[in-house]
Amino acid sequence: MTVQTPAVPRSNWLFNLARIRELGLSVFIIVLIAAVGLRTPNFLSVNNIQLILLNISILAIVALAQTMVIISKGIDLSVASMIGLVAMMVSSFVKVHPTIPMFSAVLLGLALGAVLGMGNSLIITYGKVPPIIATLGTLSIYRGLVFFYSSGTWINSYELPESFKMVSKGTPLVLPNMVLIAIVVAVIVYYFLNYTRTGRDIYAVGGNHEAAKVSGIRTQRIIFMVYILTGIAAGLAGVLWASRYESAQTNTALGFELETVAAAVVGGVSISGGIGRVPGVLLGALLLGIIENALTIVGISPFWQLAAQGFLILIAVISDNLIQRRAQRTIKI
């Protein structure tokens, strides 16, 4: 059978190269590392690298979950509030019961996160509320619950048992626990998204919801699931957050939701659904971490750091989207 070809085939090695989604980002990161490393060799010290990894671990975990939601053509703005609430509840629990084994504290965090995520799922799938609105609502609700739960008080470092603090900081192998956990999460998410049907179904649902339905995919179930998974990731992040910063405050992780979206988008996840890869998101989180760290090390006034960071995020987002668009001819379906 003859197969039609477009009138003018477009084959350009540059385009093909740009099609490897993570390439642009990797080059950007390498150039950044080289530039900063040459100026301040301290940047490449083992300690500093470890610090960067430690700083981005929580971001990476939540951004990966956020990625799954965005691939399904949704968004979860409530992650930061879930982190705050879980951090507060778990810290309070270990404060009162300091002798429980710490893995059960982690499990508690995961379970609480799952229920909070399920709240989003219910509103979105059964209530047919657009995800951005639903999670905007639960953002306020869950944050309000943090205040209600604690009556505005904080849990401080001295109130938390040492073993709880070690959940994130222990270094059984070369790297701190928290980094190891992030790596494990990344591997699991990678396997899930690439080697399981359910994982692929997320792409299908986000890419073409109607088509997914007629292909026999239970779309509602998939959407229900991704918000629960995000809740679980936020629960894990909440425990790690409280453990790392040795406190639970009413404003823990405030504003973190947009950072997770930024990491995903910088990592090449398309906000219109159906596109996104784990390596890209990890690089996105890494880039955000490196920028933050490099700006300090290079000695930019701490007050302009945020601006520079914001500017680089803006540039990364725009250039990435542009490359993506040049590399793909869009079709009209």
Partner 1 sequence: MKESTVLTSAAESRAPITINEFAPRRSFLEKFRRWEWMMVALVVAVIILNSRISPYFLNAQNLSRASSDFMELGLMMLPMTFIIITGNIDLSVASNLGMSASFMGLLYNAGVNIWIAALCALILGSLGGLLNGFIVARVKLPALVVTLGTYAFYRGVAYGFLGDLAATNYPKSYLYLGQGLLPGTLIPFSVGLFVILAIVFGLVLHKTTFGRYLFVIGNNQDVAIYSGVPVERIKIIIFTLSGFMSALAGLILASRFGSTRPDIGTGLELAVITAAVLGGVDINGGIGSMLGAVLSLTLIGLIRFGMGLVNIQGQVQGIVIGLLLVCAILFPNLAGQASGRNIRVDRRSVLSALGVIILLAIFIYFFFWSRAPIIASI
Partner 2 sequence: MSEYILELKNITKRFSGVEVLHQVSFTLRSGEVHALLGENGAGKSTLIKVVSGVHQPDSGEIFVDGKQVRFSDALDAREAGIAAIYQELSLFPDLDVAENIFVGRQPTTLGGRIDWHKLYSESEKLLSSLGVHLDLKKKARNLSIAQQQMVEIARAFSINARILIMDEPTSSLTLNEVADLFRLVRRLREEGTAIIFISHRIEELFELADRVTVLRDGSYIDTRPLIKVSRDDLIRMMVGRTISNLYPKQAGQPGETVLKVESLCRPGEFENVSFELRKGEILGMAGLIGAGRTEVARAIFGVEPVSSGTIQVRGQKEAISSPEKAIRLGIAYVPEDRQIHGIIPPMNLVANISLPLLKEYAVAGWLNGKVERSTSLLAAQQMEVRANNILQKARELSGGNQQKVLLAKWLATKPSILILDEPTRGIDVGTKAAVHSLMNKLAMEGMAILMISSELPEILGMSDRILVMREGRVTALLSRQEASQEKILHFATQTINTGNVI
- Verify binding: residue 127, partner 1, rule CB under 8 A: yes
Q: Is 12 left (phi over 0), alpha (psi -120 to 50) or beta?
A: beta
155 DSSP β-pair partners: 248
Residues 137-176 that bind partner 1 (CB under 8 A): 137-141, 143-153
Q: List the one residue from 301, 329, 330, 333 that touches partner 1 (CB under 8 A).
A: 301
Nearest distance, CB of residue 255 and partner 1, angstroms? 7
- Verify binding: residue 211, partner 1, rule CB under 8 A: no
Which residue number, 157 or 330, has a Cβ lying nearer to partner 2?
A: 330
Residues 85-114 that bind partner 1 (CB under 8 A): 89, 92-93, 96, 112
Cβ contact 217:204 at 8 Å: yes
Which residue number, 10 or 128, has a Cβ lying nearer to partner 2?
A: 10
State how far the alpha carbon of 78 is from the alpha carbons of 23, 53, 136, 138, 275, in Å.
31, 24, 6, 6, 22
Nearest distance, CB of residue 309 and partner 2, angstroms? 30
Cβ contact 291:32 at 8 Å: yes
Nearest distance, CB of residue 143 and partner 2, angstroms? 34
Contact of residue 204 among partner 2, partner 1, none (CB under 5-8 Å per partner type): partner 2
Q: List the one residue from 15, 187, 311, 328 that touches partner 1 (CB under 8 A).
A: 311
Q: Is 206 left (phi over 0), alpha (psi -120 to 50) or beta?
A: alpha
Which residue number, 72 or 177, has a Cβ lying nearer to partner 1?
A: 72
Identity (one letter) of the amino acid at 125?
A: T
Query: Sign of dihedral through CA atoms 146, 150, 153, 156?
Result: negative
Stretch that binds partner 1, among 38-46, 172-180, 190-198, 254-262 (CB under 8 A): 254-262
Contact of residue 161 among partner 1, partner 2, none (CB under 5-8 Å per partner type): none
- Verify binding: residue 226, partner 1, rule CB under 8 A: no
Contact of residue 105 among partner 1, partner 2, none (CB under 5-8 Å per partner type): none
Buried b / exposed e along 136-167 (16+ C-beta atoms within 10 A): bbbbeebbebbeebbeeeebeeebbeebbbeb
**Phi, psi torsion values for 208, nearest 5 degrees:** -160, 95
Nearest distance, CB of residue 3 and partner 2, angstroms? 6
The DSSP secondary-structure symbol of 248 reads B
- Verify binding: residue 265, partner 1, rule CB under 8 A: yes
Residue in the block written with tokens 């509030």: 81
Rounded to an integer, what distance in angstroms lies between the CA atom of residue 250 and that of residue 185? Answer: 27
- Verify binding: residue 310, partner 1, rule CB under 8 A: yes
Identity (one letter) of the amino acid at 78?
A: S
> Maximum Cα–Cα distance for the chain, whole Å?
75
Nearest to 290 by CA among 57, 29, 62: 29
Where along the sequence are the contacts to partner 2 (CB under 8 A)? 1-8, 10, 194-197, 200-201, 203-204, 207-208, 210-218, 270, 274-275, 328-331, 333
Would you tell me which residues interact with partner 1 (CB under 8 A)? 75, 77, 89, 92-93, 96, 112, 115, 118, 122-123, 126-130, 132-134, 136-141, 143-153, 250, 254-255, 258, 261-262, 265, 271-272, 301-311, 313-314, 317-318, 321-322
